[in-house]
Amino acid sequence: MTMRSIAFLVFPGFQILDLTGPLAAFEMAGLFAPDAYRLVTIAATAGAVASSSGLCIQAEALSRAKRCDTLIVVGGDGIRDVFRDTMLLRFVQGMARRTRRIASVCSGAYLLAAAGLLDGRAATTHWSRAADFARRFPDVRVEADRIFVRDGDIWTSAGISAGIDLALALVECDLGEDVARAAARQLVVYHRRPGGQSQFSALLDLAQPQSRFDALLHRARERLTERLSVEDLADEMAMSPRNFSRAFARETGTSPARAIERLRLEAARAALDNGVVSLAVVASQTGFGDADRMRRAFMRIYGRTPLAFRSHVTQPAALA
């Protein structure tokens, strides 16, 4: 197996989770694929680099990344100064020619865009900066609602924890789905977030963030074991069932019952993928009542049984 060197570029005022999330994801992948990755953190000036939280990390010189496989640029408020830094821009441009692929987390995309690497490409960044980003870099196709975007050998990801999703996707690309899922399980995060593309999970694929049903769905997800009938939900919105159904369908594109079912399916999938709890327990915890009803719902929507969503990956030797 070839050892791949992954270089993380940091700078003063970087976001600590943009670095440590993906770092930990690659580390976990290493439990299942020993010696697959070598991880190095680099900065324009070697030595202690303070993150925006004040926590410092020890970075190595840029020259340490000359022969790396992947460069990952992290984000953070400090990017405001960094993406105008001609020395770093030239470094990134040079890396684009040398490395197999380049990625960014959160506002790290600013550096890639300023270096011209994203011109004509699809990319994403933290949702709160998407508008500013699009204004500054009109040649980039910003896909603001995505967790991460791949365009050729350039990968960009949304805010903070999305960097973990990005890293898992890179791992899957390198080492296959089994290793990526095992690493995700070790991190206790979703391998592929249900809802796939939305920074806000599938839940808000349904209702717009400012929709009057957005909060309702969020609350419902916290108490899936309750009845959550159309009548209950209408009552909670202080609307008649008829009008609630109609308004909900108009504003979310799906019916109330289908939305609730989707939430239950997502929760059940996550529980199946992450844990070893029995089907009956998962069914009860997600509001399906019993395993048979859950199974029927899975077949109806996914065309596969709940068991098909269980990951069958052994524990890493280091933790056995």
Report in angstroms the alpha-carbon separations of 20 from 164, 196, 251: 9, 22, 38
How buried is residue 120: exposed, middle or buried, by Cβ count under 10 Å (0-12/13-18/19+)? Answer: exposed
Q: Which parts of the chain fold into alpha helices (H)?
A: 16-32, 79-82, 86-98, 109-114, 130-136, 162-175, 177-187, 203-206, 214-221, 230-236, 241-252, 256-274, 279-285, 291-301
Task: Go through 96-114 and write b for each residue having 16 or more CB atoms within 10 A of its CB, e for each that does not.
Answer: beebebbbbbbbbbbbbbb
Give me the residues paired with residue 122 across strands.
141
Q: Of the two residues 211 and 245, which places its CB atom closer to DNA in the complex?
A: 245
Amino acid letter, 281: V
Task: Please report how close the Cβ of residue 179 comes to DNA at its closest, in angstroms.
Answer: 36
Please report, as a single letter, which amino acid is at residue 278: S
Pick from 38, 121, 141, 258 the residue near DNA by CB under 7 A.
258
Residues in the chain: 320
As measured in angstroms, the least distance from the Cβ of 293 to DNA is 5
Compute the least distance from the CB of residue 229 to DNA, in Å.
4
- Beta carbon of residue 214, minimum distance to DNA (angstroms, whole number): 17
Segment interacting with DNA, rule: CB under 7 A, options 107-115, 214-222, 288-296, 311-319: 288-296
Taking alpha carbons only, the member of 20, 43, 54 closest to residue 160 is 20
Asked if residue 96 binds DNA (CB under 7 A), the reply is no
Q: Give 5 or 245: the residue with its C-beta nearer to DNA.
A: 245
Closer CB to DNA, 13 or 241, in the complex: 241
300 counts as binding DNA under rule CB under 7 A: yes
Among 98, 100, 223, 296, binds DNA (CB under 7 A): 296
Q: Which stretch binds DNA (CB under 7 A): 5-13, 55-63, 155-163, 296-304?
A: 296-304
Choose between 249 and 313: whose C-beta lies nearer to DNA.
Answer: 249
Between residues 83 and 288, which has the closer beta carbon with respect to DNA?
Answer: 288
Cβ proximity to DNA: between 34 and 289 the closer is 289
End-to-end, the C-alpha distance of the chain in Å comes to 23
Taking CB under 7 A as the criterion, which residues in 211-250 touch DNA?
Answer: 229-231, 239-243, 245-247, 249
CA-nearest of 156, 114, 166, 161 to 138 is: 114
Find the farthest-apart pair of alpha carbons in the chain and give their distance in angstroms, rounded. 66
Please select the residue that binds DNA; options are 80, 90, 289, 304, rule is CB under 7 A.
Answer: 289
Q: How many residues bind DNA (CB under 7 A)?
A: 22
The CB-of-285 to DNA minimum distance in angstroms stands at 16
State the nearest-atom distance from the C-beta of 146 to DNA, in Å: 28
Write out the residues near DNA by the rule CB under 7 A. 229-231, 239-243, 245-247, 249, 255-258, 289-290, 293, 296-297, 300
